[in-house]
Amino acid sequence: MSRKSLNFRPVMLGLLATVFFFVLYFGVAFALGWQHPAAWEPGIGEVSRWCERVYPGAIREPVNALSNLGFIAAGLWMLWVLGRDGRSRRSDMFKGQHSVALIYAWAVWFLGPGSLVMHGTHGAWAGWLDNLSMVMYILIPWMINLTQLGRFSIAQFLWVYFSVVALYGLLRGYFGWGLGINLDLFGLSIALWVISESLYRFWSPWFRWASGLIGFVVAGVFGLSPLTMMDNPEKYWWVVFFWLPALVAKQPPDRQRRYIPWFVSGVILYLSAFTIWQTGKANHPACDPDSLLQAHGLWHLMTALATICFFLFLRSEHEMRHEERADSTSSS
């Protein structure tokens, strides 16, 4: 196989996976139909949890389902970019066909089918798949940070990542939301990403142990106050994991990232999308179930753009120059 063919291999596999997914989805829909919606989903003609009216046929919520094409397109674009890079150094995790970069791109792609089948079928199994796809994505950034801060190998990252995904999938399928222990792994992972990213950028001996407090700030941004968390320790016991990055990050990273413009843009896009997401619920005054412009659909498109911003941000990572490394070492 020529080098040019190898460069196109990631995106070609992505296109094949996309065709396979839609053939499977519509094949099952037309052959068997979606006969058994989850108990919490409304009936045909009623308003769904995410505002759009429920339709008969292959796609229950057309706008909310098909807006997930944004994730599929984003993932395919990332696979094309990584293939175009050709070979890269082993230390450049987000350039070339590095296993970590490919996992990120495929996780973004999988957000599309995961959410599409949930909005398209209303099956309980589809809700599980949607949630699993979200967790598969959000685990990656903070696990990458801890891998670098803790000087772990890529093999260790891969082993831990896939083990957590498999265990989460089993527990989520058996116990449902909270895994039977009131653990919101998706929400916790957002906090761990911000905490570990702060340590990656501003590591120092004192900030290492103070960094866990950032988790409470993140929770506050999403409407969860520290007082509420302290008043309900049995529900929010997992805040102890806010100090997981501190335990791992015994020294500063030996690489740097550029936070402007892509990280800042990704955060702004995500927070804006989250604000819009709040209006895309059945009981919200702004809900119009028959409109082609659905807030939840905008949430999908905007968060797909956010994943692209974070991808470009992670690709900005580079080795520190000698003087930068000396400054970082002296500060520790």
Give one DSSP letter per residue of 138-171, joined into a string: HHHHHHHHHHHHTT--HHHHHHHHHHHHHHHHHH
Mean pLDDT value of segment 34-47: 93
Burial 35-66 (b: 16+ CB within 10 A, else e): eebeeebeeeeebbbbbbbbeeebbbbbbbbb
Q: Cβ(173)–Cβ(123) under 8 Å?
A: no
Residue 328 in this model has a pLDDT that exceeds 60: no
206 burial via Cβ count (<10 Å: 0-12, 13-18, 19+): exposed
d(CA 55, CA 47): 9
Mean pLDDT value of segment 157-169: 98
With cut-offs at 50, 70 and 90, classify the pLDDT of residue 88: low
Mean pLDDT value of segment 300-305: 99
Provide the residue range defining the domain that includes 113.
3-331
Residue with tokens 């196989």: 1
With cut-offs at 50, 70 and 90, classify the pLDDT of residue 91: confident
> Structure pTM?
0.94
330 burial via Cβ count (<10 Å: 0-12, 13-18, 19+): exposed
- Terminal Cα-to-Cα distance of the chain (whole angstroms): 48
Number of structural domains in the chain: 1
Residue 183 in this model has a pLDDT that exceeds 80: yes
Residue 264: what pLDDT? 99
Residue 325: what pLDDT? 53
Residue 327 in this model has a pLDDT that exceeds 90: no
Residue 1: what pLDDT? 54
With cut-offs at 50, 70 and 90, classify the pLDDT of residue 35: confident
